[in-house]
Amino acid sequence: MDWQGSVGLRTAHCTLVVVDVAGFGRYARTNPNKLRVRQGMYCALERAFGAAGIPWAACRHADLGDGVLVLASAEITKTLFADLLLGALADELAAHNRVHPPQECIRLRLALHAGEVSYDEHGVTGTSILHAHHLVDAPVLKRALADTSAVLAVIASDWFFDEVVRHSERSEAGAYRSVAVAGGEGPAGAWIRLLGAPAAVRSRGLLWAQRDPYA
């Protein structure tokens, strides 16, 4: 193969948030259901980011069909993601689920990581992004969510937990448990936390969502 010359890298250090709707493609969801789920996901994210003091408009977003990748610049304090975003997002999901039928109830998996991101004219890439995707798709995270009535399953990379979560007195670091995640270049450490919904929300729709082994 002919050498085409060097590639000039444009990189930046970012906080990475990857979210994925559990069971988005299950057969019981029609296309209108999926559109309302997507609308609800974006509304919940924007409201939660605002409540956490993270400017949604200042972040870069890449739609994933059944989720979204969010990149926040290094200037945005990482503790906001660990301390305030997660609880606010769980509250917003619970509020959405209270007024929607079971097929439109939302349960999210969310990965937290940080690292270098490379930009080109098509978008973004980088090892840190790939690792965040491996985390949010980890079978151990899917099983953890499927076994509970939680509305939000969070997985933080070893780096994010060690450098951000465990040093904050507001992050509820004790609620996380250590897990091993396969993928990428081999097993990696990560930390999982589940955030539940009020009892009134659990009773309508969330048990239906649990029945799908791929949730």
- Contact criterion met (CB below 8 Å) for 128 and 11: no
pTM, rounded to two decimals: 0.86
Q: Which residue type is seen at 119?
A: Y
The pair of structure tokens assigned to 111 is: 């990965």
d(C-alpha 81, C-alpha 87), whole Å: 10
What is the percentage of the chain residues whose pLDDT exceeds 70? 85
- What is the pLDDT confidence band of residue 207, given thresholds at 50, 70 and 90? very low
Residues 128-174 have pLDDT tens digits of: 999 999 999 999 999 999 989 999 999 999 999 999 999 999 999 99
Helix (H, G, I), strand (E, B) or coil at 188: strand
How high is the mean pLDDT of the chain?
88
Alpha-carbon distance values, 76 to 8, 45, 73, 108, 209 (Å): 26, 16, 6, 23, 34
Residues 125-139 have pLDDT tens digits of: 899 999 999 999 999
pLDDT of residue 49: 97
Can you list the domains of the chain with their CATH numbers?
12-210 (3.30.70.1230)
pLDDT of residue 9: 65
- Contact criterion met (CB below 8 Å) for 13 and 118: no
- Contact criterion met (CB below 8 Å) for 48 and 154: no
- What is the pLDDT confidence band of residue 183, given thresholds at 50, 70 and 90? low
